[in-house]
């Protein structure tokens, strides 16, 4: 149990285009999902908290208009990188805690490798 999937696993796009990444909880519901970004040989940095049915909460320094988050259902959150540039190239990972009551254990997706040319 507690499986989180991401799609696509890797994407290459041209500078200026937008890319959508999906995060799904396959066998549980999650009112909250988290989006992280990880640069090579670095730790995971939280970008935003995705809340089902309400606006996402962004960490300081993360542009909400550039990284659009939509949490339309209890099993799906999407991250759209708008007008992507080479500096947005990174490994994007989502996570979700099972349940709707604020449990603390989180399970991570396999990540999406974004390369912007």
Partner 1 sequence: GENVEQHPSTLSVQEGDSAVIKCTYSDSASNYFPWYKQELGKGPQLIIDIRSNVGEKKDQRIAVTLNKTAKHFSLHITETQPEDSAVYFCAASSKGYQKVTFGTGTKLQVIP
Q: Are the CB atoms for 83 and 18 separated by under 8 Å?
A: yes
One of 28, 69, 109, 116 touching partner 1 (CB under 8 A): 109
Q: Are the CB atoms for 69 and 79 separated by under 8 Å?
A: yes
Cα separation, 38 vs 101, in Å, equals: 28
Question: Which of the stretches 13-21, 62-70, 72-80, 106-114 binds partner 1 when contact is defined by CB under 8 A?
Answer: 106-114
- Determine if 34 is a binding residue for partner 1 (CB under 8 A): yes
DSSP secondary structure letter of residue 27: S
Residues in the chain, total:
117
- Determine if 42 is a binding residue for partner 1 (CB under 8 A): yes
Question: Which of the stretches 14-22, 67-75, 80-88, 104-112 binds partner 1 when contact is defined by CB under 8 A?
Answer: 104-112
- Determine if 54 is a binding residue for partner 1 (CB under 8 A): no
Q: Are the CB atoms for 48 and 56 separated by under 8 Å?
A: yes
Site residues (vs partner 1, CB under 8 A): 4, 6, 32, 34, 42-44, 46, 49, 91, 93, 95, 97, 102, 104-111, 113
């Amino acid at each position: 149990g507690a499986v989180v999937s991401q799609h696509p696993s890797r994407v290459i796009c041209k500078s200026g285009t937008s890319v959508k990444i999906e995060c799904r909880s396959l066998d549980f519901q999650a009112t909250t999902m988290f989006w992280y970004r990880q640069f090579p040989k670095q730790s995971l940095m939280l970008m935003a908290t995705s809340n089902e049915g309400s606006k996402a909460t962004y960490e300081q320094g993360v542009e909400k208009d550039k990284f659009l988050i939509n949490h339309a259902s209890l099993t799906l959150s999407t991250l759209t990188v708008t007008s992507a540039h080479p500096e947005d190239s990174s490994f994007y990972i989502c996570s979700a805690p099972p349940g709707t009551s604020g449990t603390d254990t989180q399970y991570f997706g396999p990540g999406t490798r974004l390369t912007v040319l």
